[in-house]
Structure 1
Amino acid sequence: MTGFLCATCGQTHDSIPMCLGAPAPELWFSVPEAEREARAELSSDQCVIDGQHFFILGRILLPVVDGDDSFVWLAWVSLSEANFMRSCELWESEGREAEPAFFGWLQSALPGYAPGTLSLKTNVQTMPLGQRPLITLEPTDHPLAMEQREGITMARVQQIAEAAFHG
């Protein structure tokens, strides 16, 4: 699917994204901008706030039942300090995918879900070098967890894109 007519704004968008995500963990946005440099470190993959809140960026895969690829949410997960440090130790290590999954809490408010997605329980599996960690949600009846287990349609991908584009 290349483009789509947006039900929210009535415009045609050039393409339907198969990957969307949050630029930073939600806690990042609560730190006043003037204090961020002193209190927080944010890279493309990791974030530490006040030396006591530790986050990594991973992928939530939603199988697309009527498509060729999965839809991917890039999302931030909080880890314990020990698990964050262990993930850092393994960051450039071959075979790191053999490490047991880390428990984490989802820390990205993904649009288009009610109830919201903050603080859902997850497991974060380190993947081979060059791949972001894989986030698996606890198997609950939350819509995001159900979509991860059961898959979504391209029509749902369009709904997600509309929610992401237009809040």
Structure 2
Amino acid sequence: MATDLGYTCSCCGEFHADLPTSYSTMAPDVWDPAFENTPDSMLSSDQCVIKAQHFLVKGMIEIPVVDRDEVFSWGVWVSLSRDNFARSLELWETPGRESEPPYFGWLTTALSIYPPSTLNLKTNVHTRKVGQRPLVELEPTDHPLAVEQRTGITMDRVREIAEGVLHPRNDT
């Protein structure tokens, strides 16, 4: 999904035709490709199991864009308890599943543009209608990502995020 007609990047000076309002990760940060060949691990576009001990679902952190009828979103992974993961799978294709109470989880996606790290932020995972990824609600802390989810971001911040994603800094 993109908005506006693009922007001139302050990092590289080039014009980018699209200003994305959504980013996503393919796997949780704890996933290792070596797990693909083990019978106790699996990764799909929506669920992940690691060594039959870690259970994760993909959801969306949604952030309102101030003065716009738009939402900026991060596709992220959240670890759930074994029981909550099993319950979410049980209801995966069940109409009405959105009435399920939220599941507690830990964010397992590092969004590098946010200091401090986003890993292990506390979340509530809200199941939505069949065909929609869960909504990930961050615990209301002073972490910049949690603040943005509560208060919204400007289009200037959307551009800043795009630049940070396209041109990550190596602070090593």
2:36 aligned partner, one-letter code: R
- TM-score, normalised relative to structure 1: 0.94
Q: Which residue pairs with 2:28 in the alignment?
A: 25
Corresponding residue to 2:10 among 7, 16, 21: 7
Q: Which residue pairs with 1:41 in the alignment?
A: 42
Q: What RMSD, in angstroms, separates the aligned Cα atoms of the two structures?
A: 1.1
Aligned positions of 1:5-154 closer than 5 A: 5-28=8-31, 31=32, 33-38=33-38, 40-154=41-155
Query: What secondary structure, in the 3-state scheme, does the structure 2 residue paired with 1:87 have?
Result: helix
Are the aligned partners of 1:111 and 1:160 in contact in 2 as well (CA < 8 Å)?
no
Cα deviation for residue 37 of structure 1 reads 2.0
Cα deviation for residue 40 of structure 1 reads 2.7
Cα deviation for residue 84 of structure 1 reads 0.4
Cα deviation for residue 68 of structure 1 reads 2.3
2:97 aligned partner, one-letter code: R
After TM superposition, the structure 1 stretch with the greater mean CA deviation from structure 2, 127-136 or 35-44, is: 35-44
The structure with the largest helix share of the pair is: 1
**Which sections of structure 1, spanning at least 5 residues, go unmatched?**
none
Cα deviation for residue 61 of structure 1 reads 0.6
Higher relative contact order (CA 8 A, sep 6+): 1
Q: Deviations over 1:19-41 (max 9, x none)?
A: 1011110001xx3x344321531
- TM-score, normalised relative to structure 2: 0.92
Classify 1:13/1:85 alpha carbon distance in 2 versus 1 (closer, same or farther; 3 Å): same
Are the aligned partners of 2:36 and 2:43 in contact in 1 as well (CA < 8 Å)?
no
Query: What secondary structure, in the 3-state scheme, does the structure 1 residue paired with 2:156 have?
Result: helix
CA distance in 1, matches of 2:143, 2:34: 36
Q: Which residue pairs with 1:161 in the alignment?
A: 162
Aligned residues: 164
Query: What secondary structure, in the 3-state scheme, does the structure 1 residue paired with 2:109 have?
Result: coil
Query: What secondary structure, in the 3-state scheme, does the structure 1 residue paired with 2:159 have?
Result: helix
Query: What secondary structure, in the 3-state scheme, does the structure 1 residue paired with 2:145 have?
Result: helix
Are the aligned partners of 2:111 and 2:118 in contact in 1 as well (CA < 8 Å)?
yes
Are the aligned partners of 2:127 and 2:134 in contact in 1 as well (CA < 8 Å)?
yes
**Which sections of structure 2, spanning at least 5 residues, go unmatched?**
none
CA distance in 2, matches of 1:77, 1:130: 18
CA distance in 2, matches of 1:139, 1:55: 21
